[in-house]
Homo-oligomer: A and B are copies of this chain.
Amino acid sequence: MTDRSDAERTRPNAANEIALERAELLRVLSPEQLARLRPQLRERPVQPHRALFFEGGEAEGLWILRRGQVRLYKASASGRVTTLETLGPGEIFGAISALEGEVYPASAEGVLAGSAWCLPRSTLMQLLASDPRLGVEVLRIVSSRLHQAHQRLHAFAQDSAPARLARALLDAAQGGEARVTRRALAESAGTTVETAIRVLRRFEREGLLHGQVGLLRLLDAEALRRVAGG
């Protein structure tokens, strides 16, 4: 629960660009290592609703978000979608596939415009083999993601839709407001758009927030935290 607020605090604003050497993964690298790495990177644009890769596609490597926002998600045959993680500048993704298998285990698409670097799998493997600190750093990151996933798993198994929505809202908020659509929030909270709208309207009537199109202003974050269950 505390690491949620950590994520809130430490995630850089999605609108800001991050320098390569400040990205969560690469902080541990020396300037020389970084210099050798830089030419290997492929930069790709990130656009809202534009996929970076799809679940089942061949895994290219490790991604580092430079600017904008990206979400990882899974889609069912029925068309329902679950957002697994939402990432901001400096955060990495696709690490699972680079290590575990040949294919991406989830899809990724842009939420806010920006760009991302892609570090090819082979280069990553070389780097990992050459410097133990890098492996430990990636491990730290992936471990913290696993921890988050476990928390959400417990929440999905036990909490009501309002509780999950309140939590998703707090997670998405920056500076007292969350720039997300009801649909996006529903997919993060594992519910439907209609339920999300109804619940958020109730929050609004109770004075917990103020809603506009694609924007939710938190008026009583404390009460929302109570609803979220902690």
Contacts and interface: CB of A to CB of B under 8 A. Distances in A.
Given A105-B147, A146-B146, A153-B149, A139 B99 contact: yes
Given A139-B139, A142-B139, A154 B74 contact: yes
A41 to B, nearest CB: 20
A143 interface: yes
A157 B189 CA distance: 8
Task: Name, among A72, A105, A146, the residue most crowded by chain B CB atoms within 10 Å (CB to CB).
Answer: A146
A10 interface: no
A174 interface: no
Interface residues of A, number: 43
A88 interface: no
Interface in A181-222: 190-191
Interface string A109-147: 000000000000000000011111111101110111111
Interface in A65-89: 72, 74, 76, 78, 80, 82, 84
Task: Name, among A72, A100, A157, the residue most crowded by chain B CB atoms within 10 Å (CB to CB).
Answer: A157
A153 B154 contact: no
A150 interface: yes
A54 interface: no
Interface of A: 72, 74, 76, 78, 80, 82, 84, 95-96, 99-100, 105-106, 128-136, 138-140, 142-147, 149-154, 156-158, 190-191, 229
Given A76-B158, A96-B143, 14 more contacts: A74-B151, A78-B158, A84-B153, A96-B147, A105-B147, A105-B150, A105-B151, A132-B132, A132-B134, A132-B135, A139-B142, A153-B153, A153-B190, A156-B157
12 contacts: A74-B150, A74-B151, A74-B154, A76-B158, A82-B153, A96-B143, A96-B144, A128-B135, A131-B132, A142-B146, A153-B153, A156-B156
